[in-house]
A and B are shown apart, each in its own frame.
Chain A
């Protein structure tokens, strides 16, 4: 049963398109890592899922319904944490928790108390007097304590120190262990994405560029490095069907292939391209940089 689905969604601001013909489907229990450059449309996609925006064309379905149809019912089943979220700065932490407890059914008070104690949150301090990490922890506590079916995180670890990020990660994993929550999160910390996500979706230039299993990406994609002044150029590489992108970087040509390194080497040899080329596996961060970065 799909938790959320986008079908041929278009969304822009004014004359500018941010998402063009994006389709995706998320099943229950999946953990989706949403990647993309700043401003690429990740936040827009998340807001579409939350029902805070409507698509200009196409359909958005969350829990088998249009999130804008009955926004209350949809939002009650979702836990939301965003980097730009503003908790009411003038409220005490306990009041924030009380407020969320009022708003969401299915609140697990024991779980919330455990989290609050574990995070060492001071109940009587005002939100504006908390450090950024603590404020984010409060937001996370409020988002997960009602045991949501879907957890939506928009750069949740942005601006947090490594310890706070790790805490966040562990809490999310605990949720996965307990209730098998579906998680949709966007992040720039590739290490966290690698650890948490079962599937990756990358948004680039208004389109969906990658949508597949994380392990499949790791094992099924590779980077080929070729000398730039050789017999090969960008276009020739791009003409190969399994080549995702080709870019010049300094003295070399970098190309990402949808093949494992051995198969890639064979492919290049068959096409008579430079034997001096190297094919190697590529970690997520490098892949992101290759796909989304500019020529240098």
Chain B
């Protein structure tokens, strides 16, 4: 697993770490039962205050994404498949939310957006789809 930190982004560092852990779990890079690196071993290469990492870990434990084990490092919590699916969908929702906001700001038709999304998922990124709509 690989973590990085961007202090200049709009997001606080602890939240960046949390998001990255969640993403890696969702994408399968981190599997349930995998151990997470110690605070110390993470803080120096990342160049981050160990308390920030501690905060991120604590919140993830609180959200039941990670599990504490006495005398041993933190591990990824066991999730059942439905949980995993929920988390994946939640992640997608987070990514799509700003996109939706953008659609509203640009005053675009919702249909245009949906068609575009479908095209992109299908692997065709041609045109703007407007002539398609007219055709349909």
Residues of A near any B CB (own CB < 8 A): 29, 31, 166, 169-170, 173-174, 176-177, 190-192, 194-198, 214-215, 218-219, 280-285
Q: Which residues of A contact B8 (CB under 8 A)?
A: 190-191, 194, 283, 285
B13 in the interface (beta carbon within 8 A): yes
Cβ contacts under 8 Å, A215 to chain B: 12-15, 52, 55
Q: Is B5 an interface residue (CB 8 A)?
A: yes
Q: In the assembled complex, how far is the CB of residue B42 from the closest CB belonging to chain A, in whole angstroms?
A: 10
Judge if B49 is at the interface, Cβ distance under 8 Å. yes
- Answer whether residue B48 sits at the interface, using C-beta atoms and an 8 A cutoff: yes
25 contacts between A and B (CB under 8 A): A31-B49, A31-B51, A176-B50, A177-B39, A177-B50, A191-B7, A192-B7, A194-B13, A195-B5, A195-B13, A195-B49, A195-B52, A198-B51, A198-B52, A215-B13, A215-B14, A215-B15, A215-B55, A218-B12, A219-B15, A281-B11, A282-B10, A283-B7, A283-B9, A285-B8
Interchain CB contact under 8 A, A194 and B7: yes
A29 closest partner in B (C-beta)? B51
Write the nearest CB–CB distance from B25 to chain A, whole angstroms: 22
B47 x A166 contact (CB < 8 A): yes
* Interface check B44, CB cutoff 8 A: yes
Interface residue? B40 (CB, 8 A): yes
State which of B5, B9, B43 has its C-beta within 8 Å of the C-beta of A173.
Answer: B43
Residues of B within 8 A of A (CB-CB), count: 21
Docked CA distance A31–B49 (Å): 9
Kindly provide the distance from the CB of B108 to the nearest chain A CB, expressed in whole angstroms.
Answer: 18
A97 to B105, CA, bound (A): 62
B13 touches A174 (CB 8 A): no
Closest A-chain residue to B14, C-beta based?
A: A215
Determine the distance from Cα of A191 to Cα of B5 in the docked complex, in whole angstroms.
Answer: 10
Partner of A197, one of B49, B50, B55: B49
Contact B40 A195 (CB under 8 A): no
Could you tell me the distance in whole angstroms from the C-beta of B99 to the nearest C-beta in chain A?
16
CA distance A58 to B99 in the complex (A): 53
Given A176-B49, A177-B44, A195-B13, 19 more A-B residue pairs with CB atoms under 8 Å apart are A29-B51, A173-B47, A173-B48, A174-B44, A190-B8, A191-B7, A191-B8, A194-B7, A194-B13, A197-B49, A198-B51, A215-B13, A215-B52, A215-B55, A218-B10, A219-B15, A280-B10, A283-B9, A283-B10
